[in-house]
């Protein structure tokens, strides 16, 4: 089955710096890769996604890149702000469902 | 439009007790699912449903039952609670089965402790 790895598990950056979270997947049939942000005490919320026929997608300060050959995709957050502090999950489509990575706790230090 | 609503938010159970986590969505979504979230393990799929009357097992179904009698509701039943079921549970829904562009909406979570 599909296996999704995510690194790092924790990440601390200074406000204004960039943050990068990387995920790898194992099933070459996966064709859709969403990223979720989970704030403390809340459910995960979709922040950006990418389809397998696209190499990069950007939405304001957030971007995602996909390398199908290497089976990895990354989340890039620029000009980080304190409100970016949260747990971030990557996911890969697998059949009728998704497989999620273990999560990255991002802390943006003022 | 409340989205995905889960109840209860917090629950403490004794080993061997049974209980039902309720989930309702008001977006007319066909696809609903239950996940559990444990530290360092991400979100793991317990059961899912692609429409009323249709359910299927996910990655970690043992100890849980589900039913889908209406489009709106998807309750999760713990048959005989065990300490290993201590976790945070999330209900989720989407318009259709997973795939490109099909956003999954999560509920706020239910914190369950089994003692």
Q: What is the pLDDT of residues B45-66, one digit of tens each?
A: 999 999 999 999 999 999 999 9
Chain A residue with Cα closest to B93 = A97
pLDDT digits (tens, 9 = 90+) for A12-50: 999 999 999 999 999 998 989 999 999 998 999 999 999
In chain B, what is the straight-line distance between the N-terminal and C-terminal CA atoms, in Å?
A: 36
Vertex B84, ends B83 and B89: CA angle to 5°?
105
d(CA A7, CA A10): 8
- What pLDDT is attached to residue B99? 65
Of A31, A43, A49, the CB nearest to B107: A43
C-beta of residue B87 within 8 angstroms of C-beta of residue B78: no
DSSP bridge partners of A88 = A37, A104
Residues in CB range of B17: below 8 A, 6 or more apart:
B80, B81
What confidence category does residue A53 fall into, taking pLDDT thresholds of 50, 70 and 90? confident
Residue B27 contacts A where some CB pair is shorter than 8 Å: no
């Amino acid at each position: 089955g599909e296996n999704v790895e995510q690194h790092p598990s924790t990440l601390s950056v200074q406000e204004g710096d960039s943050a990068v979270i990387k995920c790898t997947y194992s099933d070459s049939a996966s064709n859709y890769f969403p990223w979720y942000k989970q704030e403390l005490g809340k459910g995960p919320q979709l922040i950006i996604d990418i389809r397998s026929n696209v190499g990069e997608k950007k939405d304001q300060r957030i971007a995602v890149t996909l390398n199908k050959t290497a089976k990895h995709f990354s989340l890039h957050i620029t000009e980080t702000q304190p409100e970016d502090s949260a747990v971030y999950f990557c996911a890969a489509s697998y059949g009728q469902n998704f497989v999620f990575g273990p999560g990255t706790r991002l802390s943006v230090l003022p | 439009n409340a989205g995905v609503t889960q109840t209860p938010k917090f629950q403490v159970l004794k080993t061997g007790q049974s209980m039902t986590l309720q989930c309702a969505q008001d977006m007319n979504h066909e696809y609903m699912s239950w996940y559990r979230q444990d530290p360092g393990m991400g979100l793991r799929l317990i059961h899912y449903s692609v429409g009323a009357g249709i359910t299927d097992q996910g990655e970690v179904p043992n100890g849980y039952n589900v039913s889908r009698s209406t489009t709106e509701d998807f309750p999760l039943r713990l048959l005989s609670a065990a300490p290993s079921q201590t976790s945070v549970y999330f209900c989720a829904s989407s318009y259709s089965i997973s795939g490109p562009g099909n956003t999954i909406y999560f509920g706020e979570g239910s914190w369950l402790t089994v003692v």
